């Protein structure tokens, strides 16, 4: 398996995309986006393909996240998502409600 990293620079921020491939299938993907504050980033698009769930790939993603040198990492999570408890295990805490569907967490 191969982990591909792609960096894209925008006018005012940077996006770093990660895609884990198993030959020609995507195992998981996620990205980071810088904010106006250089000490903070937003983690987004975290997704493990259904066929690969239950194989610690979320833990692999969180290990990559834990090695990043930022003061704060933000993530927006669906309110009724079962993944919230996993994020909490990795130190993410509730910050505030975004709308009736999403909440913001950080660590």
Number of domains in the chain: 1
pLDDT tens digits, one per residue of 12-25: 888 999 999 999 99
Percentage of the chain exceeding pLDDT 90: 81
Residue 38 has pLDDT above 90, yes or no: no
Stretch 62-83: mean pLDDT, rounded? 92
Max Cα separation, the chain?
Answer: 40
Calpha distance 63→74 (Å, rounded): 16
**What is the C-alpha R_g of the chain?**
14
pLDDT tier, 37 (very low <50, low <70, confident <90, very high otherwise): confident
Tokens of 105: 């967490």
Calpha distance 15→9 (Å, rounded): 6
CATH number, domain with residue 55 = 3.40.630.30
Residue 61 has what DSSP assignment? H
The Cβ of residue 65 has, within 10 Å, a number of other Cβ atoms equal to: 21
Provide the residue range defining the domain that includes 11. 2-106
Q: What is the mean pLDDT of the chain?
A: 93
Stretch 27-41: mean pLDDT, rounded? 90
The pLDDT of residue 54 is 92
């Amino acid at each position: 398996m191969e982990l591909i990293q792609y960096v894209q620079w925008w006018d005012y921020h940077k996006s770093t995309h990660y895609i884990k491939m198993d030959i020609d299938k995507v195992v998981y993907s996620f990205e980071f986006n810088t904010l106006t504050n250089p000490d903070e980033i937003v983690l987004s698009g975290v997704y493990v393909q259904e066929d690969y769930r239950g194989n610690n790939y979320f833990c692999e993603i969180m290990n990559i996240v834990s090695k990043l040198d930022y003061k704060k990492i933000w993530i927006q999570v669906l309110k009724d998502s079962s993944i919230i408890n996993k994020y909490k295990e990795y130190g993410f805490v509730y910050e505030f409600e975004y709308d009736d569907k999403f909440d913001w967490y950080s660590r």
